Every structure is written in C-alpha cells, then in structure tokens.
Amino acid sequence: MTLIEKFLTTVINLESMSIAQHNEKIMEWHYDSTPENAIIFATTGVDGCHYCVVPKQGYSIDESPIYYVSPMDWEDTVVWVAKDFVDFLSLGVALGSFTYTSDCHSCERDEFLEFIEESWAEADAEKKLNSIKLLEEYFPLKKYDDFYEHITASYKDTNNHVDLSFEITDIINITLGHYDRV
C-alpha cells in the first residue's frame, strides 16, 4: 500500500488544517486544469481547489511531486507544492495548516513565518494538534532544522518537478483502494 493509498483510506479529520481527504472517484472529478494522469488525493473544499500527485517516470507515486490546482485562478492554475507526499504532509504539519502550502516555495522567510502564525490563529488549536498527532502516528513525517530552506531548495531543484507541458503517453496503472486509474 502506498502512502497516498493509506492517506485515502485512513479516516483523519483534517478540517482544522484546511484540507479534506478526497474520496470520490477521481475520473469523475478532474477539472480541465488538473494535470493529465494526476491523482487527486485532497481538496480544500473551496472553488474546486485540490492537491494531486503527478506520476513521475521512474519514480513511485509516493516519490512523485505534489501540485496544487486552483481551477478558478486565471494565473498559476497549477502550482508545485512539494517534492513528494511525505514532504507535503510534513510541510502542512510544520505550518500547522495546508492553507499556505502552495505559496511557501515562492515567499520570503518572514512571510513563511507569518503563514505559521496565521495558521495557528485560524483554527481551534486543540483540534489542529489532534490532527497533527494522527498524521505523525500514521505517516513517516520529516522534521527539518530549517523547513523554509528545505522547501525553497526543493522547488529550485528541477529534478523535483514533472514537465506538465506535454501529455504523458506511457500507461500508468495505479490502484487506489476502491478504484483504478489507467
């Protein structure tokens, strides 16, 4: 079982962290702006915005990059978030919310610290801490001495991206719990 499969099949209320596990059939939920072959695993619950993993040739799903898709945004419709699923979850935990994950790679350090401060002011801290505790229990999260430096360096390393300018023609067969994506 991949970590994304585990995420989709483990019931964790992440509402206090501004994200919900996506549990609909993926093929029925794609927007035109969602990258080809993307696997949607979470939604923000607003304007069709969602998080997806885009399979990277030669890498497992858990090692492939995570993107944020904002279908109603005219600019930056698809934004790189993290180099892989563990980094994505680790970033959300470091911030205390997934709200600002799509902005972290392009912000200044002081903005990053503001994101953390704002995310803790937005929701019930006890619920948030419970969600974080469950994520830490179920997933091999990483802690970095300087998460800001890690995420900005990961973004600059083009090996952590998938070229979204062309359609992937290889057949990708991924089983995710109750449905298949081919």
pLDDT value of residue 28: 57
The tens digit of pLDDT for each residue in 4-55 reads 889 888 888 888 888 888 766 444 566 778 888 888 899 888 888 889 999 9
- Average per-residue pLDDT for the chain: 80
pLDDT of 65 over the 90 cut: yes
Angle 143-144-147 from CA coordinates, rounded to 5°: 115
**Stated pTM of the model:** 0.81
The tens digit of pLDDT for each residue in 151-175 reads 888 888 877 788 776 443 333 333 3
Average pLDDT over residues 90-94: 90
Domain boundaries, the chain: 3-158
pLDDT of 177 over the 70 cut: no
CA–centroid distance for 23 within its chain: 15
Distance, in Å, from the CA atom of 16 to the CA atom of 65, rounded to the nearest integer, reads 24
pLDDT of 95 over the 60 cut: yes
Q: Is the dihedral of CA 24, 33, 160, 171 positive or negative?
A: positive
Task: Transcribe the chain into DSSP letters.
Answer: --HHHHHHHS----GGGT-EE--S-GGGT--TTSPTT-EEEEE-SSTT-EEEE---TTS-GGGS-EEEE-TT-SS-SEEEEESSHHHHHHHHHHHTSSTTTTTGGGS-HHHHHHHHHHHHHHS-HHHHHHHHHHHHHHS-----TTHHHHHHHHHH-GGG---TTS---S---EEETTEEE-
pLDDT value of residue 165: 60
